[in-house]
Amino acid sequence: MHNIKEIRTDFDYFKNQLKSRNIDVDIDKIKELDETNRKYIQKKEALESEKKDISKSKDESLFKRSKEISKELETITNEQKQIKSELDKILSNIPNIPHKDVPIGDNENDNVEISKSGNIPSFDFKPKTHYELGEKLNMLDFDLATKTTGSRFVFVKDKLALLERALSNFMLDKHVLTNGYKEISPPLIASENTMYGTGQLPKFENDQFEIKFDENTDRKFLIPTAEVILTNIVKDKIVDLKQLPMRFVASTPCFRKEAGSYGKDTKGMIRQHQFYKVELVSIVEIDKCLDELERMTNCATGILDDLGLPYRKMILCSGDMGFSAEKTYDIEVWLPSENKYREISSCSSCSSFQATRMKTRYKNNNKETLHVGTLNGSGLAVGRTLIAVMENYQQSDGSIVIPEKLRPYMNNLEKISSN
RNA sequence: GGAGAGAUGGCUGAGCGGUUGAAAGCACCGGUCUUGAAAACCGGCAAAGGGGCAACUCUUUCCUGGGUUCGAAUCCCAGUCUCUCCGCCA
């Protein structure tokens, strides 16, 4: 959410900054609503002030006037509220402004590679896809999931289930023990307001699974990522400067409708309605955002280094970034069966964009009240890491060697094979 | 599901129709004292929004939304949430 006070200082500048995102803002409408809103506020405050004076004076001859004011106030307040909510509606649908470092571009083709790491494995046989491997091992079952649930779900069984759990535990341990994150086991359901805070609502309602509750309570949603619930830990708070930075990690299932991706990655478990992800969230002083982004990204790539998986680091172009981000690095892991890199982590700085929505502030040393900076990143997507391990560590006989760092998490199992 | 109790500033907690943006304590910040620290003492300390170049000033906010009243943190109604006891259950 953008601060109207800042927009007001230079409307055209604001409009231009969003052009790189292919967003065309109706700036005249915003300007007009803002001015009308403030006019109403002024009228309102004048009347309120008069009313206040009357009640202080306790002068009975003025009581009649006071009643009139109350009536006037009612209509003015209603109009003011309506204007304000119209303005807020427009503002809440405008994405964050890209940082200067971000390359200008339209879509994923304009993302820029920053670095490559690890050795791409060579096979003296044709590498199989993860779903071929998994089905042959009898440890991935898509048909069964279709029967019990529907498309884009999967049963992970036996040693692959163990591998999935091991990955999650390994990542958590690393982030907690060496990267300084605090482990959280959060609710997997978020309220409407929480979803608004991180920017999933109102614009992306179609991607969310809404939960039906019996009572007429607030709307509730399954979290599409732990980012939602972890970031909102500090919602509506003025946090103590000494508590910053705050770093949280959680391993949770994530639920996404994947609306609009019909026909994309329909085979295998690349794109599912439900998947596990280890998520990193940082709450920092506003001027520490970009440093924290580098740190966080290194925490994510550190996992891939440990697992011996080849990857590359990309910076997303302005047109490909998420709604709340000012700057995003994607980490892409090598998938032999596709002979290309696929996203396994996305780390973003959201500057004060989410904090403004959540009303999360802190006081700096000058006693100014500022919105915090928020960051989130996958460390890593567990489902996709499972795929990457399977494909990169596959053997000609269809078995899968376990990366050494994971073995302690798997009863020292060295290899997954049939039977 | 049945019966009660409550929701006030960063936290604890008073107030129960008018000078209460709100006592007191804690925390925090500044100062005195001290070789330094602690203690003690003195002082400061809410947020959001509007107006103003500024000094400054105005408005709103005591869970949310209505109502009564010239005037509501305080009275009435509805809702949300939390806690305690009983029942049920992982």
- State pLDDT tens for residues A285-296: 999 999 999 999
pLDDT value at A168 more than 70: yes
**Residue A316 contacts residue A111 (beta carbons within 8 Å):** yes
**Residue A370 contacts residue A360 (beta carbons within 8 Å):** no
Give the nucleotide with minimal C1' distance to the Cα of A48: B59
Asked whether residue A361, judged by its CB, lies under 7 Å from any atom of the DNA or RNA strand B, the reply is yes
CA A110 to chain centre: 21
Distance CA A109, CA A105 (A): 8
Give the nucleotide with minimal C1' distance to the Cα of A60: B70
What average pLDDT does this structure show over A242-267? Answer: 88
What average pLDDT does this structure show over A51-70? Answer: 84
pLDDT for position A178:
97
Residue A175 CA distance to nucleotide B36 C1' (Å): 39
What average pLDDT does this structure show over A176-198? Answer: 92
Q: Which residue has the higher pLDDT, A104 or A217?
A: A104
Residue A64 CA distance to nucleotide B19 C1' (Å): 23
Strands A369-371 and A415-416: unpaired
CA A240 to chain centre: 24
Asked whether residue A38, judged by its CB, lies under 7 Å from any atom of the DNA or RNA strand B, the reply is yes
Asked whether residue A67, judged by its CB, lies under 7 Å from any atom of the DNA or RNA strand B, the reply is yes
User: Which H or E element spans position A353?
Assistant: helix A353-358
**Which of A203-217, A337-351, A384-398 is least confident?**
A203-217
pLDDT for position A11:
94
- What is the percentage of chain A residues whose pLDDT exceeds 70? 99
pLDDT for position A304:
98
Q: Looking at strand B, which nucleotides approach a protein CB closer than 7 A?
A: 10, 18, 46-51, 58-60, 70-71, 79-81
- State pLDDT tens for residues A313-328: 999 999 999 999 999 9
pLDDT for position A63:
83
Asked whether residue A65, judged by its CB, lies under 7 Å from any atom of the DNA or RNA strand B, the reply is no
Q: Is A381 helix (H, G, I), strand (E, B) or coil?
A: strand
What average pLDDT does this structure show over A360-367? Answer: 84
- State pLDDT tens for residues A6-32: 999 999 999 999 998 989 999 999 999
Give the CA count within 13 Å in the CB-facing half-sphere of A157: 18
pLDDT value at A217 more than 70: no
Residue A369 CA distance to nucleotide B11 C1' (Å): 19
Asked whether residue A49, judged by its CB, lies under 7 Å from any atom of the DNA or RNA strand B, the reply is yes
CA A282 to chain centre: 12
Distance CA A330, CA A315 (A): 6
Residue A189 CA distance to nucleotide B85 C1' (Å): 29
Q: At a CB cut-off of 8 Å and minimum separation 6, what does A71 contact?
A: none
- Alpha-carbon dihedral sign for residues A269, A274, A280, A284: positive
Q: At residue A183, what are phi and psi to the nearest 5 degrees?
A: -80, 135
Residue A361 CA distance to nucleotide B74 C1' (Å): 31
Q: Is A351 helix (H, G, I), strand (E, B) or coil?
A: coil
**Residue A155 contacts residue A141 (beta carbons within 8 Å):** yes
Q: How confident is the model at residue A260 (pLDDT cuts 50, 70, 90)?
A: confident
Nearest to A299 by CA among A232, A333, A347: A347
pLDDT value at A114 more than 80: yes
Q: ipTM of this model?
A: 0.85
For chain A, what is the mean pLDDT? 93
**Residue A152 contacts residue A273 (beta carbons within 8 Å):** yes
Residue A345 CA distance to nucleotide B48 C1' (Å): 37
pLDDT value at A393 more than 80: yes
Residue A175 CA distance to nucleotide B37 C1' (Å): 37
pLDDT value at A215 more than 70: no
pLDDT for position A214:
59
Asked whether residue A66, judged by its CB, lies under 7 Å from any atom of the DNA or RNA strand B, the reply is yes
Asked whether residue A82, judged by its CB, lies under 7 Å from any atom of the DNA or RNA strand B, the reply is no
pLDDT for position A363:
85
Q: How confident is the model at residue A396 (pLDDT cuts 50, 70, 90)?
A: very high
